[in-house]
């Protein structure tokens, strides 16, 4: 039991290291040098593909070694939780469409108020929450109706990683959009919709 948990934590740490490296600005500058103008078009699909491939071993090991069951939510609450997970799964792709300038490498490497940075242009899901990816990830994890020991350990560590990553992402957005984004932070909450924003 303990050994399976350690292996799962190691797999998560390896995924987090690869994911963080690929999301870093130095790596993106390298991608710009290597891929040139194709970087904006190719980087995100490649990033997503590598993310999926590196998370698959963890998912497989969790499936094979879930550990002892902690709880099982009965119906009808189970179906409500699964419905919430499905809604959250729609949020992430929608968030990409609502803020394309945030995900272009050339824009991320630019200074505020430059043509390359692009406009902040708050619309869609971003009118209610600053980090819809963090929100959807937390909802998908914590509305899991069957919880096991290994799943709980991975969810706790993943929550910490996602929250730290979100703070880092926000610093990058401040660098890209400047005071416009700081004002947006005051108005809109980072995770919880309808609450007033704060850092």
* DSSP per-residue string spanning 114-157: STTT------GGGGT-S-HHHHHHHHHHHT-SEEEHHHHHHHHH
Q: Tell me what pLDDT residue 118 has.
A: 75
Distance CA 90, CA 95 (A): 9
CA distance linking residue 166 with residue 91, whole number of Å: 16
pLDDT confidence tier of residue 104, bands split at 50, 70 and 90: confident
Domain layout of the chain by residue ranges:
2-187
Residue corresponding to tokens 């094979």: 64
CA gap 4, 189 in Å, rounded: 37
At 194 the pLDDT is 79
Selection from 129, 158, 134, 143 nearest residue 59 by Cα: 158
Adjacent-strand bridge partners of 71: 147
Query: Which is higher by pLDDT, 171 or 81?
Result: 81
**What's the confidence (pLDDT) of residue 45?**
85
Query: Which pLDDT score is estimated for 73?
Result: 96
């Amino acid at each position: 039991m303990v050994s399976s948990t350690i292996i799962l934590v190691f797999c998560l740490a390896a995924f987090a290291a690869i994911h963080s490296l690929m999301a870093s600005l130095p790596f993106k500058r390298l991608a710009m040098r290597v891929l040139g103008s194709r970087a904006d078009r190719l980087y995100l699909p490649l990033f997503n593909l590598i993310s999926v491939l590196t998370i698959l071993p963890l998912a497989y090991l969790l499936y094979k070694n879930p550990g002892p069951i902690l709880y099982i939510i009965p119906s009808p609450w189970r179906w409500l939780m699964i419905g919430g997970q499905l809604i959250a799964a729609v949020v992430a792709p929608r968030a990409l469409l609502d803020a394309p300038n945030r995900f272009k490498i050339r824009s991320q490497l630019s200074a505020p108020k430059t043509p390359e940075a692009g406009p902040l242009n708050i619309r869609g899901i971003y009118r209610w929450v600053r980090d819809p990816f963090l929100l959807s990830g937390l909802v998908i994890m914590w509305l899991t109706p069957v919880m096991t020991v290994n799943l709980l350990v991975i969810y706790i560590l993943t929550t910490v990683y996602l929250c730290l990553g979100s703070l880092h992402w926000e610093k990058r957005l401040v660098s890209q959009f400047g005071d416009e984004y700081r004002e947006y932070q005051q108005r809109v909450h980072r995770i919880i919709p309808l609450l007033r924003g704060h850092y």
